[in-house]
Chains A and B, each alone.
Chain A
Amino acid sequence: MARRAEPPAGPALRSLSRAQRGLADRLGEPGLRALTWAASAAGMALIALLVYKVFDQAGESVSHFGLGFLTANVWDPVSRRFGAASFVYGTAVSSLLALVIAGPLSIAIALFLTELAPRRARRPVATLVELLAAIPSVVLGLWGIIVLAPFLVNTLEPALHSAFGWIPLFEGSTSPFGLLPAILILTIMVVPIIASVTREVFETVPGDLKESALALGATRWEMVRMVILPYAKSGIVGASILGLGRALGEAIAVTQVIGDATGVHASLFAPADTLASRVASTYQGATSTLEISSLAYLSAILLVLALIVNVIARLIVRRSTLRMRRAGPRPGLAVTTAEAEV
């Protein structure tokens, strides 16, 4: 538009810039292609090398202990017997329970932000919740030691114990370090992830569906239960599994509060350890090549777990996209599906 306003100098300038552009095109096009190709190749090579190296390192331990490593509940550097059972247990319990607490909490936050919150409050609240994810995990762990641990041991754990002491989960004596603080720290880390993805999923629920539910006389709760939640179900599951992936791999903050102890205890108050936390706390001081190799074995287990979780999350997300596409030509839906795919 501006070009049309410049009468005589226009064509010359344009041809010059075209020549320049030609040069840039000739060099830039293949250059860009090479650059992006190299970057992607480097990314893939890195993953392959990393996986190879972890499994290579684990080789000594794998040939020494075999698959029995997975079920052996021991970590004894003196007699050189190592096993992953208590760490697999600790990882599973801490991540899954964190998910159990974080899931409903995140759905509630997402519902509040998409349906209930006054429009002006939505952005600041959403930003604050997402900022939770920006807290470095060491800082969260530090908070766990200084603030959370004393609160747990003085208030929450005695209360849980006296109310639900008959459930094995809340048996035994209280401790500032153990599974419970680890679960709560992981919950805090996972909530912003699940909440923000779930919120985005809720926003794709077509307005006409919600409005027709309301028009049919549904209350807001019925509308949430019968329209929003079913529509967003697979999205919520995908979000939760993303959160699970985060919880599985967290090392530092967990190391700080979990009490780094071996053994499988039913009680949430007991000190425990996870795969990632054991690797983080022990690698530096590992005393034998077999121990280092066993730590690599733990890493390999973690890597496989993370890959499985990631693949499941992708499958679920893909299935839900397919389903939405199949849901076909209803005008409202078609628009949102297109949007979702962009």
Chain B
Amino acid sequence: MTKNRIAVAAGATALALGVAACGSSNSSPTGASGSADTLVGAGSTLVAPLVSQWQPEYDKKAEVAVTYGAIGSGGGIAQITARTVDFGASDAPLTEDQFKEAKGVVQIPWALAATDMAYHVEGVPSKLKLTGPLLAEIYEGKVTSWNAPQIASLNPGVTLPSTKITPIHRSDGSGDTFAFTNYLSHISPEWSSKYGHATEVNFPVGVGAKGNSGVGGAISSTNGAIGYIAIAYVLENEFDFALIKNAAGQYPEPGIPSISAAAKTLASVPANNEVSIVDPPASAPGAYPISTFTYALVPEESPKAKTLKPFLKWAITEGQTFGPKLDFAPLPAQVVKADEATIEKIKS
């Protein structure tokens, strides 16, 4: 655990350094290799590991050098609105205002990821069972100790200590926050009306930490902590994680199969491509309830359309095969179809 904690804290520090550097992160569009063409993108940190897998592969395949600055979803939206990049990336779908401001930007869901509930309670084993309403109560500060009757009744046979619960949240805007609060808003009307869902919300209690690594650091150094954190990060650091009850009353383990099961329940994709699969219906017993799509943001009229369109098409099809290794689930077929239709509309 100690080693873990150091690694986690080191990560947090690296991230903090990143902030310091981010002021000048309008990375210049330099295609390092002898690629024929270049694309410049910026935004979401959640999708960054996947994009960095794509970069060399796509360069090999199409001789296009893709530069990507992981400056955060908010930054991605701002950059594409100002048209300083060829594509942006955001973990939350654009709001109406953002669409208006961006003047002719379309969003393309291009990756699917899940958020885990990780915790650290001395004397408690992994895979504790929890429910959505209970998570909402914990994050509202209504359930405050690990041996609360609501937790005990879900986990017969587990000895729970009276340790205080410390809910941990992301202090920076993040796709994980969006997925988690979107889920809480679905489950709890009270959460929805009081705090809502976004990449950054006003958490009433708990500790904020920056980045996945910051949250990881806070979890490992706090006895009694619970936090939402990208699934890949949980597996990598061997954190204890909770099983969350879905609409069918099951407790599926978070992972590619259960995320894909949730994605399969998607009925249709609306015209603006905003898709949400949190709290999937009871018809999918194996569906994990907290997963989220992350979006590419592209202008409808782009001078780079000729280069951009094939790249996006590749990303949502062949590019998806690089996902599972990083715990991104493949996009469901309806989403790919809707994406392809949207990509077709991009003009130069």
Residues of A bordering B, CB below 8 Å: 74-79, 138-139, 141-142, 145-146, 149-150, 153, 173, 175-178, 252, 255-256, 259-262, 271, 273, 280-289, 291-292
B173 and A78 form a contact (CB under 8 A) = no
* Known contacts A284-B19, A285-B173, A271 near B6 by CB under 8 Å: no
Judge whether B22 is part of the interface by a CB distance below 8 angstroms.
yes
B203 and A256 form a contact (CB under 8 A) = no
User: Contacts of B101 on A, CB cut-off 8 Å?
Assistant: 289
Judge whether B72 is part of the interface by a CB distance below 8 angstroms.
yes
Question: Which are the 10 A-B pairs with shortest beta-carbon distances?
Answer: A285-B173, A260-B208, A260-B171, A78-B196, A76-B202, A284-B72, A259-B207, A285-B72, A285-B172, A145-B9
Please pick, from B13, B171, B205, B222, the residue contacting A281 in the complex, using a CB distance under 8 A. Answer: B171
Residues facing A in B80-99 (CB within 8 A) are 92, 97-98
* Known contacts A252-B19, A281-B171, A286-B173, A146 near B200 by CB under 8 Å: no
Give A76 to B12 CA distance when docked, in angstroms: 24
User: Contacts of B16 on A, CB cut-off 8 Å?
Assistant: 138, 141, 252, 255-256, 280
* Known contacts A280-B19, A285-B74, A286-B74, A176 near B199 by CB under 8 Å: no
A284 and B172 form a contact (CB under 8 A) = yes
User: Contacts of B71 on A, CB cut-off 8 Å?
Assistant: 284
Least Cβ–Cβ distance between A299 and chain B, in angstroms: 12
Judge whether B271 is part of the interface by a CB distance below 8 angstroms.
no
User: Contacts of B196 on A, CB cut-off 8 Å?
Assistant: 78-79
Judge whether B10 is part of the interface by a CB distance below 8 angstroms.
yes
Judge whether B209 is part of the interface by a CB distance below 8 angstroms.
yes
Please pick, from B10, B75, B98, B201, the residue contacting A284 in the complex, using a CB distance under 8 A. Answer: B75
B178 (CB) vs chain A CBs: closest residue: A287
Please pick, from B10, B200, B205, B209, the residue contacting A285 in the complex, using a CB distance under 8 A. Answer: B200
Contact digits for B10-41, partner A, Cβ 8 Å, 1 yes 0 no? 10110011011010000000000000000000
Least Cβ–Cβ distance between A123 and chain B, in angstroms: 32
Least Cβ–Cβ distance between B1 and chain A, in angstroms: 11
A284 and B171 form a contact (CB under 8 A) = no
Least Cβ–Cβ distance between B144 and chain A, in angstroms: 9
Please pick, from A173, A259, A287, the residue contacting B74 in the complex, using a CB distance under 8 A. Answer: A287
Judge whether B245 is part of the interface by a CB distance below 8 angstroms.
no
User: Contacts of A281 on B, CB cut-off 8 Å?
Assistant: 19, 171-172, 208, 210
A78 and B97 form a contact (CB under 8 A) = no
Least Cβ–Cβ distance between B134 and chain A, in angstroms: 20
Judge whether B126 is part of the interface by a CB distance below 8 angstroms.
no
Least Cβ–Cβ distance between A279 and chain B, in angstroms: 9
Please pick, from B22, B197, B217, the residue contacting A78 in the complex, using a CB distance under 8 A. Answer: B197
Query: Number of contacting residues on B, CB 8 A?
Result: 49
Judge whether B287 is part of the interface by a CB distance below 8 angstroms.
no
B218 and A287 form a contact (CB under 8 A) = no
B90 (CB) vs chain A CBs: closest residue: A287
Mind listing 27 A-B residue pairs with CB under 8 Å?
A: A74-B202, A75-B202, A78-B195, A79-B196, A79-B202, A138-B17, A175-B222, A177-B207, A255-B16, A256-B16, A259-B209, A261-B207, A271-B207, A281-B171, A281-B172, A282-B171, A284-B172, A285-B75, A285-B199, A286-B74, A286-B200, A287-B74, A287-B173, A288-B98, A289-B101, A291-B74, A291-B200
A176 and B12 form a contact (CB under 8 A) = no
Judge whether B129 is part of the interface by a CB distance below 8 angstroms.
no
B225 (CB) vs chain A CBs: closest residue: A176
Contact digits for B65-77, partner A, Cβ 8 Å, 1 yes 0 no? 0000001111101
Please pick, from B22, B77, B173, B206, the residue contacting A261 in the complex, using a CB distance under 8 A. Answer: B206
Give A341 to B223 CA distance when docked, in angstroms: 56
Judge whether B174 is part of the interface by a CB distance below 8 angstroms.
yes
Least Cβ–Cβ distance between B168 and chain A, in angstroms: 9
User: Contacts of A178 on B, CB cut-off 8 Å?
Assistant: 207
B23 (CB) vs chain A CBs: closest residue: A283
* Known contacts A78-B196, A287-B200, A142 near B9 by CB under 8 Å: yes
B172 (CB) vs chain A CBs: closest residue: A285
Give A274 to B255 CA distance when docked, in angstroms: 38
Residues facing A in B159-217 (CB within 8 A) are 164, 166, 171-174, 195-203, 205-210, 214, 217
A259 (CB) vs chain B CBs: closest residue: B207
* Known contacts A76-B201, A261-B206, A281-B210, A256 near B12 by CB under 8 Å: yes
B13 and A282 form a contact (CB under 8 A) = no
Give A243 to B97 CA distance when docked, in angstroms: 44
Least Cβ–Cβ distance between B77 and chain A, in angstroms: 8
User: Contacts of B74 on A, CB cut-off 8 Å?
Assistant: 284-287, 291-292
Judge whether B302 is part of the interface by a CB distance below 8 angstroms.
no
Given A177-B218, A271-B206, 6 more contacts at CB 8 Å?
A252-B19, A255-B16, A259-B208, A271-B207, A285-B73, A288-B98
Give A74 to B210 CA distance when docked, in angstroms: 19
* Known contacts A77-B202, A284-B172, A146 near B210 by CB under 8 Å: no
Give A173 to B222 CA distance when docked, in angstroms: 13
User: Contacts of B199 on A, CB cut-off 8 Å?
Assistant: 77, 285, 287
User: Contacts of B250 on A, CB cut-off 8 Å?
Assistant: none
Least Cβ–Cβ distance between A90 and chain B, in angstroms: 12
Give A259 to B22 CA distance when docked, in angstroms: 21
* Known contacts A78-B196, A138-B13, A142-B12, A282 near B207 by CB under 8 Å: no
User: Contacts of B304 on A, CB cut-off 8 Å?
Assistant: none
B17 (CB) vs chain A CBs: closest residue: A138
B204 (CB) vs chain A CBs: closest residue: A263
A260 and B209 form a contact (CB under 8 A) = yes
User: Contacts of A149 on B, CB cut-off 8 Å?
Assistant: 221
Least Cβ–Cβ distance between B179 and chain A, in angstroms: 14
Least Cβ–Cβ distance between A63 and chain B, in angstroms: 17
Least Cβ–Cβ distance between A201 and chain B, in angstroms: 33
* Known contacts A79-B196, A141-B13, A261 near B203 by CB under 8 Å: yes
User: Contacts of B19 on A, CB cut-off 8 Å?
Assistant: 252, 280-281, 283-284
B210 (CB) vs chain A CBs: closest residue: A281
Judge whether B5 is part of the interface by a CB distance below 8 angstroms.
yes
Least Cβ–Cβ distance between A89 and chain B, in angstroms: 16
User: Contacts of B77 on A, CB cut-off 8 Å?
Assistant: 287
Least Cβ–Cβ distance between B160 and chain A, in angstroms: 17
* Known contacts A141-B13, A146-B5, A281-B208, A176 near B222 by CB under 8 Å: yes
